[in-house]
Homo-oligomer: A and B are copies of this chain.
Amino acid sequence: MAHEKTVWPGSTQLAPVPAVLVGCGNGKEYKFNLVTVAWAGTVCSDPPQLAIALRPERYSFTPIVRTKEFTVNLPSVKMTDSLDRCGVVSGRDHDKFALCGLTPVPGEKVAAPVVAESPVALECRVTREIGLGSHTLFIADILAVQVDSALIDDKGKFDIDQAELVAYAHGHYYTLGECIGHFGYSVRRKPGNVIRK
């Protein structure tokens, strides 16, 4: 099999990545604000931690550095316009919640705002701040998760398909498509096993 490759200099080609609305501020010295972040990822399962990377020149940078708190709000497909807008306009010039018709609600564990319309929101407290170049990485504990109750079934199970999450790849937003397997399916699969579609 031929697999001819073109070799490029290093670049940020990891994809798909999440694209999330990061909520920051405390409603006092730092007004509630939103910033779209695609450089985000889970970094530890126990204790649960994630990381976001932000350019220091972003308006949201100082509130996060000072309050050491933020929220990560997963957008549903119908929030894609807001998701994109919050990555392009600045909180210096706009009240992004008002601009996008989104509702800030203080977190249960942090003062930073949860986006009420998001199907899933993670409340985070910064533990480490690492300057890497264009971006500073904030590693944070995930203190609480708020899930839209309408997405939780009678058995307490969260139906992620109903959340209609958004993926980001090379400058484009995508819906999640077909479910093509669950973790461990390749070794547990037997004839007749049904993979959820």
Spell out A's residues near B (CB within 8 Å).
1, 3-18, 20, 38-51, 53, 72, 74, 77, 80-82, 84-85, 87-89, 103, 105, 108, 114, 116-117, 120-123, 128, 130, 132-135, 137, 139, 141-150, 152, 158, 160, 165-167, 169-187, 196
Contacts and interface: CB of A to CB of B under 8 A. Distances in A.
Contact of A44 (B4, B39, B103): B39
Contact of A42 (B38, B82, B175): B38
Given A10-B123, A14-B20, A15-B74, A184 B88 contact: yes
B144 A4 contact: no
A147 B8 contact: yes
Contact of A3 (B13, B72, B85, B117): B117
